[in-house]
Amino acid sequence: MTHDGYKKSMDPSPEPLSTSLELWRTSDIPKDLDHLVSIFGERGLLILICMLLFPAALPLPTGGFTHLFEIIAVIPTIQLITGRTHALLPGRIRRITLSATFMNRLLPRTIRIIRWIEHHSRPRSAKFLARQPVQSAVGVILLLFLAGAFLAPPFSGLDTLPAMGATIMTLGLLLRDRIVVLAGLGLGALGWTLLILLGSFVMHLLG
């Protein structure tokens, strides 16, 4: 499917996010961040955050390569806080191409998870979640969870919960479902709690 054909398939009403991502994955549209943002319009900023954080949110050994994605995710998260509706990425980052491993292994798993959440979700507090002050507040929390994922010791698995919390909160904004947002908030808070407890334990050993 071409770029224009894909955009036509999105009109007049948007497809479910999982369907849209699967269409993009199997299309001949370039698999770089620039096209990922552009074809999804106003949803592109939140979808970009999701895609950048999902590798860290999956309980898989990553060897720390997800830190690069977490650093890039800071840019659209700050833009969410400041009220932008479309992601604005520096040229070099826009040209980053997602690897075949990401597209053929990680993304299908991500789409299955999103489809499951969509199946159990419905719009709850949609107008409230669409308000800019609310989205800015969520963006601040996302930054805290990003920091938790980034600061987690390598190979400890402690980056999973903060990244998962941030990803699910972002999905909650996309689906306009406060329950999904609150579930992500709880997971991210649990992740930070475990990080603090680990830090306290290490300090106790050293002290």
Q: What is the pLDDT of residues 138-197, one digit of tens each?
A: 999 999 999 988 887 766 677 888 999 999 999 999 999 999 999 999 999 998 988 888
Residue pair 128/178 in contact (Cβ under 8 Å)? The answer is yes
Average pLDDT, the chain: 85
pLDDT band at 4 (very low <50, low <70, confident <90, very high): low
Range of the domain at 121: 3-206
Over the stretch 46-62, which tens digit does the pLDDT of each residue have? 999 998 888 888 776 66
Number of domains in the chain: 1
Alpha-carbon torsion (108, 109, 113, 116), positive or negative: positive
> How confident is the model over 127-143, as a mean pLDDT?
94
Alpha helices in 58-177 (DSSP H): 66-81, 91-94, 100-101, 107-120, 126-130, 132-151, 160-175
What's the rounded mean pLDDT across residues 75-81?
94
123 sits in which H/E element: none
Is pLDDT larger for residue 150 or for residue 3? 150
Q: Is 1 exposed, middle or buried (0-12, 13-18, 19+ CB in 10 A)?
A: middle
- Output the six-digit token pair for 31: 């698999």
